Structure 1
Amino acid sequence: MRYYVMEEDEFDSPSSEEMIYVFEHERKNTWGEIRSLEDFTAKCLFIELRNHYMYQKDAVEDMDVFELEGKLREELSLQEVTGDEWLQLKEEFSEQIKPFIFPDNIIRCAYAYEPDWNDRFFVAETEEKYFGLYWCTTA
Structure 2
Amino acid sequence: MNLAIHFKTEKFDVTQEQINPITPIYGESLLIWLKSKLNGQLDICDPAAEDWGWYSTLTFEDNHYLIGASVFYSPEEDSAPELEWVLQIDKRQSLKQRLFGQNKMSLTDPCFIFFHELIRSCDEFKEVEIS
TM-score, normalized by length of structure 2? 0.35
Higher strand share: 2
Higher helix share: 1
TM-score, normalized by length of structure 1? 0.33
